[in-house]
Amino acid sequence: MKTILITGAAGDVGTHLRRELAGQYVLRVSDLRSLKKINREEKFVRADISRFADALRITKGVDAIVHLGGYSVEGPWEGILSANIIGCYNVFEAARRNGVKRILFPTSNHATGFYRRDQTIDHRVYPRPDSRYGVSKVFGEALASLYADKYGMEMFCMRIGNVNPVPIDKRRLSLLFTPRDLAQLVSIGIEHPAIRFEIVYGVSKNKRSWYDNSNAYRLGYKPLDDSEVFAADILRREPPGDATAELYQGGMFTVAEEIPNPAPLPRKARVKKRK
């Protein structure tokens, strides 16, 4: 079986993906934080991807990388710069030096969050990030393009919506990406023989989707789930939101300066970062 490195494996998306891919690949799972549970098919390697030596160590000897590691919300520039820009560069460059040709980069819907909700967009639109976090994802897409063109690497960029078994609010009715659909798209990104540089949307087949995801369908993606079965209940109980946030696809990221980090660093790591 292929050996797949998953960075950011302790996060929500990484946890879902590890469960779904169990038994299909040998998983090398990495994070700065500890994992609550390590499965039999996995090998955990702790790493701080903002340190190039760590990135070089964890990317050695793998067949592909799913690079989930990073700061996952809008926040202070220092944190986003370290995790999402320096860390992303380190992983891509370490992979190149170690001869790993294929990287799956879960970018984000927030790379295009300032498109209006009454617009349908595809993978060819000009980026309109809604936040510093969104800017960091645009950087990752641009870096992936560079490494594909300059070094012949195979880069699969997925603009992730919201990974969850069920949508949690009205906005996520357009963005739902169920774990089994996530696993299907990731498997395509790992296995498809003709990938050089691609951008696709990481969403299920939602009736309310803002995305023309024909590029993913062209590669064989056949999502199984649709958020519409949850729509009536969600719309009935959700109160009106911020007017600006409701206008744009990025939601609260378009107005927020900082959102509490759902994956805070361990205390020792925080102290180390301040030095």
Longest CA pairwise span in the chain (Å) = 53
**Rg of the Cα atoms in the chain:** 18
126 catalytic residue (yes or no): no
Q: 25, 89, 115, 133: which one is catalytic? A: 133
Residues linked to residue 259 through DSSP beta bridges, in sequence order: none
Q: What are phi and psi of 198, to 5 degrees?
A: -135, 145
Helix axes 179-191, 12-21, angle to 10 degrees: 70
CA distances from 90 to 67, 93, 97, 199 (A): 11, 5, 10, 21
Terminal Cα distance for the chain, rounded = 42
Three-state DSSP at 30 gives: strand
Cβ atoms of 145 and 97 within 8 Å: the answer is no
Three-state DSSP at 245 gives: helix
Length of the chain: 275
Q: Which residues contact 166 (CB under 8 A, 6 or more apart)?
A: 176, 227, 230
Three-state DSSP at 259 gives: coil
Helix, strand, coil abundance in the chain, percent, nearest 5: 40, 20, 40
Q: Which residues contact 191 (CB under 8 A, 6 or more apart)?
A: none
| Residues classed as catalytic | 133
